[in-house]
Amino acid sequence: MGMTMTQKILASHAGLDSVQAGQLILASLDLVLGNDITSPVAIKEFSKLGRDSVFDRDKVTMVMDHFAPNKDIKASEQCKMCREFCGEKNITHFYDVGKMGVEHALLPEQGLVTAGNLVIGADSHTCTYGALGAFSTGVGSTDMACGMATGKAWFKVPSAIKFNLTGKLQKYVSGKDVILHIIGKIGVDGALYRSMEFSGEGLSELSVADRLCIANMAIEAGAKNGIFEVDELTLEYIKEHGGAEPKIFKADDDAEYDEVININLSEIEPTVSFPHLPENAKTFSEFGDVKIDQVVIGSCTNGRLEDLIIAAEIMKGKKCADGVRVIIIPATQQIYLDAMEMGLLKIFIESGAVVSTPTCGPCLGGHMGILAKGERAVATTNRNFVGRMGDPTSEVYLASPAVAAASAITGKITSPWEVMGK
């Protein structure tokens, strides 16, 4: 029986010729990731194992991005603990303030992930790297600790849903609309324990930024991982960012899928996920005026340069609506610098938006844009759970950078087609 892309990567890392869904395997890891929230718990657990060093100092990385730059004294202690651990263990890839960015935007940019890799990260959005043809999945701090110690983790081999992409995205429709549409279709547990594999002729229409955004939110459908077939665009991206030699795993023609879902990209419209689940996806014909208090453009989902370019195109020469706080967060230092050199930051600031240093900040209600009772935000982030961005009575509406930028101008949730035409 044939194997899926994910199954092939898992088999190769377990030293097996083949694996099948449901099989338990022990696999070698190419990279183990943690952030300033999850690493402290992992470091405490690691210390109980009595090991002097991590399995490979080049294959463990910590990124201080969630509550950094430190939001309070306790957060500063957590970052300090990571800093000291990485110093002591001589960890090569420790990203502190000044070097850090939002982890899942940072690692591909830094060339730390390549096609065919097996990556675990103590952060649920670790599934992002599937965009580059890697198997990557979120785990908890204990798995991170064991991964740091042994370079191995156990997995149950997942079955898969195949998404066959066709068509071409319409203007101002992006990867975010695609993934919100898909989650709306299959639900927040629609891919529970399974892989979401993306392939088809429509793939060539999706930029690497779009693919990273789509793979990033696979977890919001409950998936173990999201993964894209590797093409020329992937290889170009990996080369450009200095990634290691890619290893391409293509699904067998007779690979078995639980389900094949056809997605015609041409039919997807700007989409918004209403509170309090990402599956509450709606297009603009399905709702009326929703007034907003805040807009956030950033995060591991949509804080990339392509996202800022589209937002700037929409906001250029216009003013943010009265009473709306607009917060723009380039996801990495490099994106920040590129956006500055391209004049995007000037456009944002002149329109009345604030531009922040890279941080996860408001996405998880940490800092840099917390919502008060009953307030509403349109955010390019990935979760709209109760209390996610602040007070439990506040509301988060998930959308693309184009929708967020259009909404910043009008003060209500707005389609980019309304502001810019189709």
Partner 1 sequence: MKYTGDVIKYADNVDTDVIIPARYLNTSDHKELASHCMEDLDKTFTSRVKQGDIITAGFNFGCGSSREHAPIAIKASGVSLVIAKSFARIFYRNSINIGLAIVECPEAVDGINDGDRVEADLDTGVIRNLTTGKEYKTQPFPEFVQKIIENGGLINSIAEGVIK
Residues at the contact surface with partner 1, assessed by CB under 8 A: 37-38, 40-41, 44-45, 48-50, 66-67, 71-72, 74-75, 78, 121-124, 126, 138-143, 145-146, 188-189, 192-193, 219, 222, 224, 277, 364-366, 383, 385-388, 392
Q: Residue 121 or residue 243: which is nearer to partner 1 going by CB? A: 121
Q: Residue 47 or residue 262: which is nearer to partner 1 going by CB? A: 47
Give the helix/strand (H/E) hosting 334. Answer: helix 333-341
Nearest to 405 by CA among 351, 333, 331, 341: 351
Work out how close the CB of 138 gets to partner 1 at its nearest, in angstroms, rounded to a whole number: 4
Work out how close the CB of 70 gets to partner 1 at its nearest, in angstroms, rounded to a whole number: 9
Work out how close the CB of 378 gets to partner 1 at its nearest, in angstroms, rounded to a whole number: 19
- The Cα 105–Cα 103 span in angstroms is 5
| CB neighbours of residue 393 within 10 Å | 12
Nearest to 106 by CA among 164, 64, 47, 54: 64
Work out how close the CB of 144 gets to partner 1 at its nearest, in angstroms, rounded to a whole number: 9
Q: Residue 66 or residue 181: which is nearer to partner 1 going by CB? A: 66
CB contact at 8 A, 117 and 92:
no
271-273 vs 281-283, strand pairing mode: antiparallel
- The Cα 330–Cα 368 span in angstroms is 13
Work out how close the CB of 38 gets to partner 1 at its nearest, in angstroms, rounded to a whole number: 7
Q: Residue 140 or residue 167: which is nearer to partner 1 going by CB? A: 140
* Tokens of residue 195, six digits: 């892989």
Give the helix/strand (H/E) hosting 272. Answer: strand 271-273
Strand partners, 70: none
Q: Residue 37 or residue 339: which is nearer to partner 1 going by CB? A: 37
Work out how close the CB of 317 gets to partner 1 at its nearest, in angstroms, rounded to a whole number: 36
294-297 vs 259-264, strand pairing mode: unpaired
Q: Residue 187 or residue 352: which is nearer to partner 1 going by CB? A: 187
Work out how close the CB of 363 gets to partner 1 at its nearest, in angstroms, rounded to a whole number: 9
Q: Residue 6 or residue 38: which is nearer to partner 1 going by CB? A: 38
Work out how close the CB of 359 gets to partner 1 at its nearest, in angstroms, rounded to a whole number: 13
**Cα dihedral across residues 200, 206, 210, 212: positive or negative:** positive
What's the N-to-C CA distance of the chain in angstroms? 46
In degrees, to the nearest 5, what angle opens at C-alpha 281 toward C-alphas 275 and 287? 80
Q: Residue 167 or residue 222: which is nearer to partner 1 going by CB? A: 222
Work out how close the CB of 390 gets to partner 1 at its nearest, in angstroms, rounded to a whole number: 8
Q: Residue 243 or residue 365: which is nearer to partner 1 going by CB? A: 365
Work out how close the CB of 188 gets to partner 1 at its nearest, in angstroms, rounded to a whole number: 6
Nearest to 381 by CA among 310, 299, 303, 312: 299
Q: Residue 28 or residue 142: which is nearer to partner 1 going by CB? A: 142
Work out how close the CB of 234 gets to partner 1 at its nearest, in angstroms, rounded to a whole number: 25
- The Cα 294–Cα 380 span in angstroms is 12
Contacts of 70 (CB under 8 A, 6+ apart): 76, 79
- The Cα 315–Cα 312 span in angstroms is 5
The CA–CA distances, whole Å, from 188 to 67, 223, 252, 287 equal: 26, 9, 28, 21
Q: Residue 34 or residue 270: which is nearer to partner 1 going by CB? A: 34
**Cα dihedral across residues 205, 380, 74, 125: positive or negative:** negative
